[in-house]
Amino acid sequence: MNAATIIAVIALACIIFFAARYIIKSKQRGAKCIGCPFSDSGQCPYHAAAQKKSCCH
Amino acid sequence: MRIAFAGNPNSGKTTMYNALTGRSEKVGNWGGVTVGSKEYQLKKEFAGDREVIAVDLPGAYSMSPFTPEEGITSEYVRTASPDAIVNIVDATNLSRSLFFTTQLLELGIPMVVALNKSDVNAKEGTEIDVGKLSAKLNCPVFKTVSTEEKNNGLSEMIAKAISLCGTEQKAPYLQADIDLHDKAAVDAEDRKRYQFVNGIVAEVETRKVLSQETNKEDKIDAVLTNPIAGILIFAGVMWFVFWVSQAWLGPLVADWLVGYIEAFQEFVAGQLENSPPILSALLADGIVGGVGAVVGFLPLVMVMYFLIALLEDCGYMARVSAVMDPIFKRVGLSGKSVIPVVIGTGCGIPAIMACRTIRDERERRATTMLTTFIPCGAKIPVIALFAGAFFNGAGWVSLTAYFFGLVLIFLGALLIKVVTGYKYRKSFFIMELPKYKVPSLKFAFRQMMERAKAYIVKAATIILICNTVVQVMQTFDWHFQVVEEGAENTSILASIASPFAILLIPLGFGVWQLAAAAITGFIAKENVVGTLAVVYGLTAFIDVEELEMTGGANTVAMTMGLTSVTALAYLFFNLYTPPCFAAIGAMNSEMQHKGWLWSAIGLQLCTGYTVAFLIYQFGTLFTEGHFGTAFVPGLIAIAVMVVVIILISRKIRASFDAKYQLHKNAQTNVA
């Protein structure tokens, strides 16, 4: 197995791991739509509900 | 400590809330943008070391709610006992705003009045005597300009609100003890309150511009809200938005981006030349190629969001709502159904959630059912891909998709009207037309960047995982052996998608690759592009040589093997079949009725299928002189779907009839 293959396998594993982790964490925070264009602007009430849980109070 | 921010719609509550908390909640130059309450801690520069929570409430005209979102506000200030209230008053419309102010003051909660938009007053030469107003209302009054970063009056106003916590508020006007069920008594009391408010305004306000005079804005409104001219202008504006975003500026920027993506894909593939082919397929084709194909359309989506944000900010979209209102009412929807449709251009989920502001249950469910016919931002890459590959990047494809979506909403609404029978309650749509203003480029840029970030997050998570799974399923067969070249039909993906492909033969695209792309589109609509890139091994949906979207008999069109007619049928099938699962989940939570939900999914599936069938069959008839493949089986499939919808609809009709009968009986008893 050459160096490029080892790096590619590690990169592939990392990419999928972090993408999956992001989805799972978002789901745990209550988000129903990941990457909704309104998620950061807060118009999406699903996202607002998720933010409330992780807010300061 | 909690401070509630309450005031009339479009008085600038959320803009002030964002300035005080550092949040970037959605704002818009029209009323009704906020439909639920939001909470966040105030910035340290305003609250110091104290933990102060700001609560942004939906706009309300009075404590007697007319709409559900007004109910949230009156319920909160009555029952949640905030430590203080900041009443945001639109300084340009004092007489209307103070009605609600005097009602809030009666609650006894310490209150501060923020005369927001004071900069507009200064430009129009309107002066308000703050000292006198404060004395008349028995509470501190501050001039504020939330859109300014400095000298905006917010620090002083918040400091005062915090210092008042624990004190008692004295009301300048107390409502008489009347029977609130007695309409005449309530009306008389409201008139008294208006007299009191008008008395205050007459003493504290000096205006140069009088509201009863016809000004330039009124003349523009007369044209923009004209039932015929208004719609023609709206069509022209949307054509311009789609042309700039998908035929001119968008592809120009996308071309530059795609050049880098292609170079990177080639670099990755080159580095993996001596690695196992599966690794190269997964990384270079599946991840870089598939995700890159979706990201390549990002500039088109960004330009569209930028232009829509400009339209919202200048006050035009509120006029569009006014134009569409009578048409929507005529087909049995609420005038308020316009708002979800306008929001739906961005994303279907908030559009569906916005339906909760519609009072009538039938109208609310019907709007929820139909609003996703408007192509959302996630469908833009799909439209752009097919418009570019098969129609020389023509802007008319997007415009047709948008307005055809509106036509489907009208037809769907008429169908629902027939199924559910008559209504017993009239619906009203009250919307204040905001003042026109020069749109803020900064605001539009920020909105665009926020949405671009969300798009990238989606591409790097959901789309990436989906493309990887699709690539794996395409590479292996059920024995987990790598599929040999030429035997792609034995792959896991092909064997799953093939049965669905049979159903699509009457639509002209009965191949497993297109069926697989349509299925993954239910996870996220951008997946259609990502999956097509993976299954056909394509990335260059945007031609880097020609500096434009690929057009005519190009590689993309040839690889897919579709004619223009079948391409249009496939595009419309993806646009008008049910939305992504997240949007279906939102429909479920808003409808709260399984029958309605399944009717909605059935209607959308039937609509998408029928539209694609008609385009393919009649398109083939016009272009080739005969109907396309499997005309009769397609008709049978549509007939089966129609029968299923009728059966579900009859159940719904029965429950509506029972409800109407109850209402009739109640009316007879009262008479």
**Using CB atoms and an 8 Å cut-off, which of residues 327-346 of chain B contact chain A?**
343, 346
Query: Residues B315, B30: contact at Cβ < 8 Å?
Result: yes
pTM: 0.83
Residue A43 sits at the chain B interface (C-beta within 8 Å) = yes
Residue A23 maps to a domain: yes
Q: Across the interface, do A40 and B450 touch by the CB < 8 Å criterion?
A: yes
Q: Across the interface, do B279 and A8 touch by the CB < 8 Å criterion?
A: yes
- Name the amino acid, one letter, at B576: Y
Residue A57 maps to a domain: no
User: What total number of domains does chain A contain?
Assistant: 1
Cβ neighbours of B177 (radius 10 Å): 6
What gap in Å lies between CA B8 and CA B30, rounded to an integer? 11
Query: Residues B451, A37: contact at Cβ < 8 Å?
Result: yes
What gap in Å lies between CA B306 and CA A5, rounded to an integer? 42
Contacts of B39 in chain A (CB under 8 A): 52, 55, 57
Distance from CA of B77 to the nearest CA of A (A): 19
Q: What is the pLDDT of residues B282-338, one digit of tens each?
A: 999 889 988 998 898 899 989 998 998 899 889 898 898 888 888 888 888 877 788
- List CB contacts of B519: < 8 A, sequence separation 6 or more: B497, B500
- Exposed/middle/buried for B377, CB within 10 Å: 0-12, 13-18, 19+? buried
Segments in B29-67 forming alpha helices (H) = 44-47
Q: What is the pLDDT of residues B18-72, one digit of tens each?
A: 889 988 776 666 666 666 678 889 998 888 888 899 999 888 888 887 777 778 8
Average the pLDDT over B647-663 and give the result: 77
Residue A55 maps to a domain: no
Cα distances (Å, whole numbers) of residue B185 to A47, B60, B199, B294: 43, 22, 21, 61
Q: Across the interface, do A42 and B41 touch by the CB < 8 Å criterion?
A: no
Contacts of B68 in chain A (CB under 8 A): none
In terms of CA atoms, which chain B residue is nearest residue A20? B461
Query: Residues B207, B126: contact at Cβ < 8 Å?
Result: yes
What gap in Å lies between CA B607 and CA B578, rounded to an integer? 9
Strand partners, B87: B6, B113
Q: Across the interface, do B451 and A16 touch by the CB < 8 Å criterion?
A: no
**Using CB atoms and an 8 Å cut-off, which of residues 452-511 of chain B contact chain A?**
453-462, 464-465, 468
Q: What pLDDT is attached to residue B353?
A: 80
Distance from CA of A55 to the nearest CA of B (A): 7
Per residue in B412-424, is it b (16+ CB within 10 Å) or e — as a string? Answer: bbebbbebbeeee
Reported ipTM: the value is: 0.81
In terms of CA atoms, which chain B residue is nearest residue A50? B38
Distance from CA of A27 to the nearest CA of B (A): 12
Q: Across the interface, do B36 and A32 touch by the CB < 8 Å criterion?
A: no
Residue B565, phi-psi category: left (phi > 0), alpha (psi -120 to 50), beta (remainder): alpha
Residue A16 maps to a domain: yes
CA-wise closest residue to B51 among A53, A56, A55, A49: A56
Residue A56 maps to a domain: no
- List CB contacts of B419: < 8 A, sequence separation 6 or more: B649, B652, B653
Contacts of B375 in chain A (CB under 8 A): none
Domains of chain B and any CATH numbers? 2-206 (3.40.50.300), 230-629 (no CATH)
For chain A, the C-alpha Rg in angstroms (whole number) is 16
Q: What pLDDT is attached to residue B117?
A: 86
DSSP per-residue letters across B587-613? HHHHH--HHHHHHHHHHHHHHHHHHHH
Average the pLDDT over B382-392 and give the result: 87
Residue A34 maps to a domain: yes
Residue A34 sits at the chain B interface (C-beta within 8 Å) = yes
Q: What pLDDT is attached to residue B544?
A: 46
Residue A13 maps to a domain: yes
Q: What is the pLDDT of residues B328-377, one digit of tens each?
A: 888 888 777 888 888 888 788 888 887 877 777 888 889 999 999 999 88
What gap in Å lies between CA A46 and CA B165, rounded to an integer? 32
Residue A28 maps to a domain: yes
Domain that holds residue A38: 3-50
